[in-house]
Amino acid sequence: MKEIVVISGKGGTGKTSLVASLAALAERPVLADCDVDAADLHLVLEPEIKHSAEFSGGKTASIQTEKCISCGKCFQLCRFGAVSKDESRQPVYTIEATACEGCGVCSYFCPENAIDFKSSVNGRWFISDTRYGPMVHAKLGIAEENSGKMVSLVRSQAKIIAEKEKLDYILVDGPPGIGCPVIASVTGADAVLVVTEPTVSGQHDLERVVELVRHFKIPAYLCINKFDLNLETSINIEKKAMANGVRLAGRIRYDRSVTFAQVKKLPVVVAIANSPAAQDIRATWDNIMKIINNEECR
Chain contacts with ligand SF4 (rule: CB under 6 A): 61, 63, 68-74, 77-78, 80, 82-83, 91, 93, 95, 100-106, 110, 112, 114-115
Contact 234, 227 (CB under 8 A): yes
Nearer to ligand SF4, 93 or 126 (CB): 93
Residues forming a β-bridge with 117:
61
Residues forming a β-bridge with 65:
none
* Least distance CB 88 / ligand SF4 (angstroms): 16
* Least distance CB 113 / ligand SF4 (angstroms): 8
* Least distance CB 141 / ligand SF4 (angstroms): 17
Single-letter residue type at 232? E
Relative orientation angle of helices 15-25 and 276-293, to the nearest 10 degrees: 70
Nearer to ligand SF4, 115 or 223 (CB): 115
Nearer to ligand SF4, 81 or 245 (CB): 81
Distance CA 284, CA 262 (A): 20
Nearer to ligand SF4, 112 or 165 (CB): 112
Distance CA 298, CA 295 (A): 7
* Least distance CB 119 / ligand SF4 (angstroms): 13
Nearer to ligand SF4, 103 or 283 (CB): 103
CA proximity to 48, closest of 132, 137, 161, 129: 129
Beta strands in 166-286 (DSSP E): 169-176, 191-196, 220-225, 247-252
* Least distance CB 68 / ligand SF4 (angstroms): 3
